[in-house]
Amino acid sequence: MSAEANEKQSFSSLDVPNRLLFYPKTVPNPKNTKENEVLFVMKILTSTQFKELDKYTIEHEPVSSTDLMERAAKAIASELKSRWTTATRFIVFAGPGNNGGDALAVSRLLCNAGYTVQTYLFNITGRLSDDCLNNKKRLENLAGLLFTEVSSQFSFPEADEKDVIVDGLFGTGLNKPLDGGYAGLVKRINASPAKVVSIDIPSGLMSEDNTYNNPSAIVRADLTLTIQLPKLAFFFGENQKYLGEVKPMDIGLSAEGLAAIDCSITVIEPGEVKKILKPRNPFAHKGSMGHALLVSGQYGMGGATILAAKACLRSGVGKLTVHTPDMNNNILQCSVPEAILSHDLSDIRVSKAISTYDYNALAMGPGLGTHEETAEALRTFIRNHPGEMVLDADALNILGNHPEWIPEIPQDTILTPHPKELENLVGTCTDSYDRMAKARELSIKMQLYVIVKGHNSMICTPTGRVIINPTGNAGMATAGSGDVLTGILTALLARGYTANEACQLGTYLHGLAGDIARERLGEESMIASDIIDALPEAFKKLKE
């Protein structure tokens, strides 16, 4: 054991957190919003809503809070026993709140099952939550359990790669970064060769906003056994290094209680997104399946136009017209013979707007460029188009250069920025939570749909709701993927889907096609065309 590990550690006091609970199953959304959102959703609750659900379950089941904690402990202990034999030593760190109460109950259950358990309860302030205190009393005289209550000084136990550390220090009630002795303890946990399992959430990680958190004071778990549902922070890329494998633990919170909560952040459920997809009319013809217009391409960027056009056609639109510089004509006619071409007067850029009254949906941006002549054409398109619209890529960069034009964008237009394009519109974003918050603010203020692209793309709606997409993978981090999404969305709008429906269905299909391409090819070699090639199978899967 190193001198550092043997060093005495003193602890500063922290507020005792409350435990926040989630429900793992889909439940009806009782709100009939103007967006007509999917009927079944996975809800991501706020801290206040979690407390309400906890209270509702206790009052209406009824069940005591201690018995509810016992359910959580039994689920966690059962999972641990399924992964490790009785030859494993568990080192349990319990905090003073309900997360610590969970950890103490888990200690007791593991000890009773024949495991070697060494438990430390950190009671620095002398104040324990009621349920934590109850569980402390239940294990104090338990034969075979090594139990230490820490009030000031602490020696970190010697551990090796065969041991498992159970992190039950702080849960989702934490509202400020860990500091002092707790921060030091987290560093020791992270430096240990033992496997680390966090109860509900890694200690130090706040369940929503970690913008001003201290990364060195957050436990890096190998496994997170989250109670009921993932927390919002779990969907942000910068937090993945803390989570390890995430597995929800069902403790049977009230479905009725959750159904009554109007939640502003949800996750698209795979089974329910199928309900958005409309059956194709057997008597349909190309005129009834929508006519889309794609305004795209400058010198050297014809590939973006081809990708968006192919994706649009593969997404079932009846007709597609591409307005592009004259120099793109030959490559487009060879690569996308199904598309109709509209020639811009310029050889190298889009320079003039055309009438859009014959088109059901308009998309602008892929490979467009930001020349001032193109910018003026974009503004004319935005002002005059009477129908649905998607703005992506350079269309967004132009708007970032001309923020005074943003109020001219028609309501319910879909914007599809990647993080850098979003910053051009809303300013610098410090992390994923900040991006979500600023995109949401833009959506509400301008009554637009903003799809923040990335792992777990987030759809921000005009009513302030955020819908998280669960499909997609790292293989899609390749040039042209966003152009494919633009094509999919444009086709769906032209076919008659609402902007809200198109955002959910299109984003899900885009990620699903990427997942199919990954299964075929692996992540390392994927290109954007592979996503287009997988679109037919993605549509088929949704119909199964």
pLDDT of residue 41: 62
* Across 369-386, average pLDDT: 97
Do residues 313 and 305 lie in contact, with contact meaning Cβ atoms separated by under 8 Å?
A: no
The fold for domain 3-10+45-262 equals: Rossmann fold (3.40.50)
Q: What is the pLDDT of residue 99?
A: 97
pLDDT tens digits for range 53-93 = 889 999 999 999 999 999 999 999 999 999 999 999 999 99
Whether residue 367 is annotated as binding a ligand: the answer is yes
pLDDT of residue 30 exceeding 60: no
101 in a known ligand binding site: yes
With 0-12 / 13-18 / 19 or more C-beta atoms within 10 angstroms meaning exposed / middle / buried, residue 453 is buried
One-letter-per-residue 3-state SS of 213-225 = CCHHHCCCCCEEE
Q: Nearest CA to 99 among 126, 125, 76, 124?
A: 76
Per-residue model confidence (pLDDT) at position 36: 36
User: How much is the pLDDT for 228?
Assistant: 87
Q: Chain-wide mean pLDDT for the chain?
A: 92
User: Cβ(241)–Cβ(470) under 8 Å?
Assistant: no
pLDDT, residue 4, reads 33
* 8 A C-beta contact, residue 502 and residue 78: no
% residues pLDDT > 90 (the chain):
87
119 marked among binding-site residues: no
Do the annotations mark residue 244 as ligand-binding? no
Report whether 168 belongs to an annotated binding site: no
Is 356 annotated as ligand-binding?
A: no
* Residue 203 annotated as binding site: yes
Cα 469 to Cα 235: distance, rounded to the nearest angstrom:
10
Q: What is the mean pLDDT of residues 396-405?
A: 98
Query: Is 209 annotated as belonging to a binding site?
Result: no
Enter the DSSP assignment of 154. Answer: B
pLDDT at 141: 80
454 among annotated binding-site residues: yes
Say what the pLDDT of residue 143 is. Answer: 87
Q: So what's the pLDDT on residue 181?
A: 95
Q: Is the pLDDT of residue 40 over 70?
A: no
Please give the pLDDT value at position 268: 94
| More confident: 1 or 498 | 498
pLDDT at 26 over 70: no
Residue 171 labelled as part of a binding site: yes
State the pLDDT at residue 45. 83
Question: What's the CATH superfamily of 271-278+291-543?
Answer: Ribokinase (3.40.1190.20)
455 is in an annotated binding site: yes
Cα angle value 57/63/69 (rounded, 5°): 85
- What CA–CA distance (Å, rounded) separates 251 from 356? 55
172 labeled binding residue: yes
Q: Is 36 annotated as a binding residue?
A: no
Range of weakest confidence among 38-42, 239-243, 490-494: 38-42
- 510 assigned ligand-binding residue: no
CB atoms < 10 A from the CB of 543, how many?
9
DSSP label at residue 393: T
Is the pLDDT at 28 greater than 90, yes or no? Answer: no
Query: Which burial class, exposed, middle or buried, applies to 463 when counting CB atoms under 10 A from its CB (0-12, 13-18, 19+)?
Result: middle
* Distance, CA of 487 to CA of 509 (rounded, Å): 12
Higher pLDDT, residue 13 or 345: 345
Which residue's entry shows tokens 């969305």? Answer: 489
Give pLDDT tens digits for 346-367: 999 999 999 999 999 999 999 9
Query: In the structure encoding, which two tokens stand for residue 70, read together?
Result: 């016992």
pLDDT at 12 over 80: no
200 is in an annotated binding site: yes
141 belongs to an annotated ligand binding site: no
What distance in Å separates the CA atoms of residue 296 and residue 368, rounded to the nearest whole number? 5
Which of 327, 274, 289 lies closest to 305, judged by CA?
327
Q: Is the pLDDT of residue 24 over 60?
A: no
Q: Rounded to 10 degrees, what is the CA torsion of 352, 353, 354, 358?
A: 160
Position 334 pLDDT exceeds 80: yes
Q: Number of C-alpha atoms within 13 angstroms, CB side, residue 16?
A: 18
Give the pLDDT mean for 391-417. Answer: 98
pLDDT over 90 at 532, yes or no:
yes
Contact call for residues 91 and 163 (beta carbons, < 8 A): yes
Domain with CATH 3.40.1190.20 in the chain: 271-278+291-543
Q: Give start-end residues of each CATH 3.40.50.10260 domain in the chain.
A: 3-10+45-262
273-291 confidence digits (pLDDT tens) = 999 999 999 999 999 999 9
What is the rounded distance in angstroms from the CA atom of residue 270 to the CA atom of residue 212? 33
Does 482 count as an annotated binding residue?
yes
Q: Report whether 174 belongs to an annotated binding site.
A: yes
Q: Was 74 annotated as part of a binding site?
A: no
102 assigned binding-site residue: yes
pLDDT, tens digit, for every residue of 83-134? 999 999 999 999 999 999 999 999 999 999 999 999 999 999 999 999 999 9
Question: Which has the closest alpha carbon to 332: 324, 420, 462?
Answer: 324
pLDDT value at residue 144:
86
Neighbours of 317 (CB within 10 A): 25
Half-sphere exposure of 310 (CA within 13 A, CB side): 26
* pLDDT for 8 beyond 80: no
Q: How confident is the model at residue 140 (pLDDT cuts 50, 70, 90)?
A: confident
Classify each residue of 233-253 as buried b or exposed e, where b means 16 or more C-beta atoms within 10 Å of its C-beta: bbbbeebeebbbebebbebbb
Residue 407, φ and ψ in degrees, nearest 5: -60, -15
* Range from 38-52, 167-181, 403-417 carrying the lowest mean pLDDT: 38-52
Residue 99, annotated as binding a ligand: yes
pLDDT reported for residue 29: 35
